[in-house]
Amino acid sequence: MTHAQINPLLVQVLSNEEVKENIPTISSVPGKYVREMFNQIKAINPISVVNHQTLTCTSCGRKGKYDVGMIVVNVDKKDGNMSDNIQTTGYYRCKHCNAAGNWELPQSMLFQALTAALPLGDKGISLVGKNLLFDGSWHKHATDAEEYLLHLIQENPNDSYLWNRLGNIYRTGNRPELATSAYEHSIAIDPKQVESHYTLGLLLLDIKDYLNAGYHIRQSLLYAEGYKKLEAMQLREMLAIGLQSLLIIHYNSEGSVPFIPTEEERQATGRFSSSNGYDSIEIELDIDPNEISTFYPLAEMYMGIRAKEINLRNRTYQMPSTTPSKKKKVRKKKRKR
């Protein structure tokens, strides 16, 4: 019988208890949305290409078919043989003994790796490059990166960013139910973890949970200004995609799920409260739902002061009442007094 392919260490770190079972089931993975995500797993768009291969587990000697995802070939690594220099994005563990990372790779996979650098190679399946973690570390399998992050998390259990990165490993490994649990945990530690709100929202949109998808994406807008883990341009791109998704949610829910944060939500997070005068601003938006850049002005508005990190040429949002130069002058005058 095959099982859920879940790392017992994940369950242990999530539940903060010693886990005795070597082969956990999905019911031992905590999270409000985890079960639903697992039940509707087929509705979720795979992030990585689906690439089924027959691998042999060297821990138990048994063969199985696994979705290895994309093959990334590190041509800088000159040591070892070909199979030591390739990475796979898929998240998979032995169906029989639940071991991870001890694989004998089939010739068909090595062939995919060989063609990565060729002009005729299938760029969807394999490419030349390196998948590095946020700290620059290189890991062969998604399960290796997972193990590495789980150990970092054990040393820093309240680091919501590490939990977000772990969620990303599961997401690109086509394991959205595990990603969901990691993102939920990340937000439980830090409700201002913007990237976790955002990606969790997109996953919930995939399973058409519009209410919760909308909530989490709106939260990512509200906390964007204080979020320092992304460059300003990346942050704007993320928020713009979030806004585009919110518009889709708004339409699909026939208007019942708000497009932008509600007054109540704004007050709860202390952003755009009436004291700073933001709510009197009306901006003219010319949104084309299919054109992501038309969401930039609104995204920049939610970025607040962080929008100023985008150079003027690329910036799209201006305070409608006064131009930035005029405002400066006014401030200077006040200071002189």
Q: Which spans of this chain sit near Zn ion (rule: CB under 5 A)?
A: 57, 59-60, 94, 96-97, 99
Nearer to Zn ion, 97 or 241 (CB): 97
At its nearest, how many Å lie between Zn ion and the CB of residue 56? 9
Q: In the structure, how many helices (H) and strands (E) does the chain have?
A: 12, 6
Measured CA to CA, the distance from residue 181 to residue 160 in angstroms comes to: 13
At its nearest, how many Å lie between Zn ion and the CB of residue 1? 14
Residues written for the chain: 337
Structure tokens at 72: 């990334």
Identify the H or E element spanning 88. strand 86-88
Output Rg (C-alpha) for the chain, integer angstroms: 23
At its nearest, how many Å lie between Zn ion and the CB of residue 166? 23
Tokens 């969401």 map to which residue? 295
At its nearest, how many Å lie between Zn ion and the CB of residue 98? 7
Angle subtended at Cα 201 by Cα 135 and Cα 90, rounded to the nearest 5 degrees: 50
Nearer to Zn ion, 144 or 237 (CB): 144
At its nearest, how many Å lie between Zn ion and the CB of residue 38? 23
At its nearest, how many Å lie between Zn ion and the CB of residue 3? 11
Nearer to Zn ion, 109 or 203 (CB): 109
Nearer to Zn ion, 101 or 201 (CB): 101
Nearer to Zn ion, 141 or 165 (CB): 141
| 152 contact partners, CB below 8 Å, separation of at least 6 | 159, 162
Tokens 């928020």 map to which residue? 239
Measured CA to CA, the distance from residue 88 to residue 172 in angstroms comes to: 10
Nearer to Zn ion, 9 or 99 (CB): 99
Is residue 260 within 8 Å of 218, Cβ to Cβ? yes
